[in-house]
Structure 1
Amino acid sequence: MPELTRRTALGGALALVASASVLNAPAASAAITPAAYVMGYFAESPNWEVASYGLHLAVSRDGLEWTPLNQNNPVVLPTAGTGGLRDPYIHRKQDNTFVVLATDLKGTNWAEQNQYIHVWDSTDLRSFTGYRRIKLHSLPTHSWAPEVIWDAGRRQYGIVYSANDGNRNVLMVNYTTDFRTVGGHQVYFDPGFNVIDGSFAFHNGMHYLYFKREHDFTLMGARSSSLAPGSFDRGVFTGAYRGPIGTEAPTVVKAIGQNVWYLWGDNWAPRNGYATVWRTTDLAAGTWSPVSNANFTQPMHGKHQTITEITQVEYDNLLARWGTPAWNRLKSHNFPDHFVRHANNVGRIDQYPFDPYRDSMWRLVPGLAASTGVSFESVNFPGRFLRHSGFVVGLAPNDGSAGFRADATFHRTSGLADSRWTSFRSHNFPTRYLRHSAFALRIDEISSASALGDRRDATFRIGY
């Protein structure tokens, strides 16, 4: 069953971003000094070449451009229940250690009525201990996307998740002090229509809850001065926000050191990328503006993200423990939802996501003709490189000749359309640059005086 149908019929979950220092001020006993973010997610690609139901991690300085860890492979896998997870959530506890919770579901068996969730403890997200499953209820329904709030008045954590109460899809809560034993379930949020997926933020004494309204697949916001069950039910105050097809799994993130918030949404169908992002400078107004794909890049295949602030030490330690990717992707400047790839040995840009996904993964190695340059070696066809022939760029095996080495070597320059990005000048035709034209790659003569469209065609972002 498609995810849209599954979630409409059965419900979803509440995504609660609780930050010790900013997003949910009562969430931790000792505030941290945030310097970066960690994202948790599971991974799926359009034609199921990737179907990875473990905890994946990525890090970011700004909450927009992400570096996948562990080569975009999972860092921990469940070993009980269905043996897979979806919708992970990372929560910083009062003692500044972490707890990780996730839906107990492998694959897309939407009819699964699972009352259990996966749970791990972690001091630093470099190791995971105490794996267990805990049961939240005995209802004939699911327990999807479990997430956490800290209720200071109760001195307890609330595990908030999606279920059906027999009338409609609602958000339920169980309270706990240790994430091992839990109290009975109760309805947390029921505005009178089917809802799933949400994200809390805290600002100027007010709590904000963003969630998915199911009947039109849009994101909306509610507010309350309290975190008590039912307190948001009559607090809906925003308009509806929707990605290109339909959006769920909102996550609210505050930019570190800025009066800016981002609202991430997960597109339920993998078109125009998996994510849509909005921006606001006034959380109380409840109005959001879309962020261009040029300004954010989610981890490849990342689904149902959770985003948590981390310190500089935690950021450095995560990179040291799990490592950065041994490959890169190249994003187009003027088609920022498109990435450079090879297809049938033709170089081109195509809209993300696609399979075979490895077609867009490149090892940027020292230039074959000059070590000061760069050559693009295919990840899924090692020994094959992007090279130009007759000014048309394609993928070809290295024949060892001087001509091939020169054709396959480029020199990085400041982006011709945006100095924060990168352009690639041909080694043996130094007035020509790598560019796309009608989505196909070639090298053409381009200068700072060329038309803006041509300069944008020749400008790329090196990322993951």
Structure 2
Amino acid sequence: MNYLQHFIKIILNVGTAVAFLSCSPSVEEDDVYMFSYFTGNGENGLHFAYSGDGYHWQALGNGKPFLTPTAGKDRLMRDPCVIRGGDGKFHMVWTVSWNERGIGYASSEDLINWSEQRYLPVMEHEPNARNTWAPEVFYDGDEDIYMIYWSTTVTGLYPETQSEEENAYNHRQYYVTTRDFKEFSDTRLFYEPGFNVIDGTLIKENGEYILFVKDETRVPPQKNIRVARSKNLTQGYGPAGPPITGDYWAEGPTVARIGDRWVVYFDKYIDHRMGAVASYDLEDWKDISEEVSFPEGTRHGTVFKITQKEFEKLQEY
């Protein structure tokens, strides 16, 4: 091997190493993207995926569950929403059942050791409530308050959007607020857009609350993700804009800032795969489903970030 060939080999080896380092979360200097999700019907608990770039996701722990559900009668853990709160802890809410009137809640400092799982009876006061599905929790740092919100069908309400398809579910979104997950406000109506609505998720940008929701209308079918906005956390959301997703059924949106783009991940549940759309300005959206990859069997959850140190502990678990 001459000197030129030897030099080229060194350069190629260095390039390979740099490429590996740049996509390996265990050695990145930046935070690691995490994705909480469920599989099947949610009976086996909480799963995590991780990513160094926000586009290519791998199952953590070879896909094993990190928490087994115990809350509620049916003991499911569907739609797991995980956020980091103002206290530095991770707070999670989830769907415990297809037909109970409460949701699950637990907290953790490391995503490994969890508090006792609690059943929050957020709709028990409403005898005509059929369900409490797809809860999310949002922390507003400016107000130092948490809002938990979800979708419920209350029999007899909003007959103008009632359909007999899909067991006649006809959701609207409701909420409670809390500062400590011990005392909660009364349950109130959160979002009534004039259509069957579910799967809300929130971000706050430039003092504005931006709500991504699923239009659950079955006749004629919508099944898409739309966006509403407000200057107030708990009220005042305007009409939902046009769909930001395409000619497929989408649900379970969750949002992250990846570089200079906003990315909304969602579940293409008829196709049994995850999809995504992206925007530079939260106005114009492009489908980038072919740019993302998730572990097989991933069902929707939430995206969030953790530190390298936290990620290394998770890898050891």
Please, what TM-score do these two structures have when normalized by structure 1? 0.55
Query: 2:276 maps to which residue?
Result: 277
Structure 1 unaligned regions, length at least 5 = 1-32, 45-49, 106-111, 322-464
Q: Does 1:134 align with 2:131?
A: no
Q: Distance in 1 between matches of 2:58 and 2:134?
A: 23
Q: 1:250 to 1:51 in 2, by over 3 A?
A: closer
Match of 1:130, SS state, is coil
User: Which structure has the greater CA radius of gyration?
Assistant: 1
Question: How many residues are matched?
Answer: 268
CA distance in 1, matches of 2:214, 2:51: 25
**For residues 150 and 97 of structure 1, do their structure 2 counterparts lie closer, same or farther at Cα, with a shift above 3 Å needed?**
same
In structure 2, give the amino acid aligned to 1:222: A
Q: Residue 34 of structure 1 contacts residue 310 of structure 1 at CA under 8 Å; is this kept in 2? A: no
CA displacement at 1:242 relative to structure 2: 3.3
Q: 1:228 to 1:132 in 2, by over 3 A?
A: closer
Residue number in structure 2 paired with 1:367: none
Instruction: Give, in angstroms, the shift of residue 301 of structure 1.
Output: 0.5
Query: Are 2:279 and 1:287 equivalent residues in the alignment?
Result: no
Counterpart CA distance in 1 for 2:260 and 2:89 is: 27
**2:147 counterpart (150, 154, 158):** 158
Q: Of Structure 1 and Structure 2, which has the larger fraction of its residues in strand? A: 1
Asked if residue 57 in structure 1 is aligned to residue 43 in structure 2, the reply is: no
Cα offset, 1:205, TM superposition: 2.4
What is the CA RMSD across the aligned residues, in angstroms? 2.1
Q: In the alignment, what sits opposite 1:262?
A: 263
Deviations 1:37-91 (A, max 9, x none): 11111112xxxxx975410111111221112112212111112421221111102
Instruction: Tell me, yes or no, if structure 1 residue 91 matches structure 2 residue 101.
Output: no
Query: In structure 1, what is the equivalent of residue 242 of structure 2?
Result: 239
If the length of structure 2 is used for normalisation, what is the TM-score? 0.78
- Structure 2: distance between partners of 1:207 and 1:80: 31
Structure 2, unaligned stretches of length 5 or more? 1-28, 159-169
Q: Which amino acid aligns with 2:223?
A: F
Corresponding residue for residue 42 of structure 1: 38
- In the other structure, the counterpart of 2:184 is 182
Q: In the alignment, which of 145, 148, 152 is matched to residue 134 of structure 2?
A: 145
In 2, distance between residues paired with 1:192 and 1:38? 34
What is the CA deviation profile of residues 365-424 of structure 1, one whole-angstrom value per residue up to 9, with x for unaligned ones?
xxxxxxxxxxxxxxxxxxxxxxxxxxxxxxxxxxxxxxxxxxxxxxxxxxxxxxxxxxxx
CA 1:162 to 1:51, structure 2 compared with 1: closer, same or farther past 3 Å? closer
Amino acid at match of 2:314: L
What amino acid is aligned across from residue 296 of structure 1 in structure 2?
Answer: V
Identical-residue share of aligned pairs (%): 29
Q: Which amino acid aligns with 1:291?
A: I
Question: Which residue in 1 is equivalent to 2:26?
Answer: none
Determine which of 68, 71, 96 is the counterpart of 1:77: 68
Matches within 5 A, 1:159-238: 159-165=148-154, 166-167=157-158, 168-215=170-217, 216-229=222-235, 231-232=236-237, 234-236=238-240, 238=241
Tell me, yes or no, if the aligned pair for 1:260 and 1:280 is still in contact at 8 Å. yes
1:100 aligned partner: 92
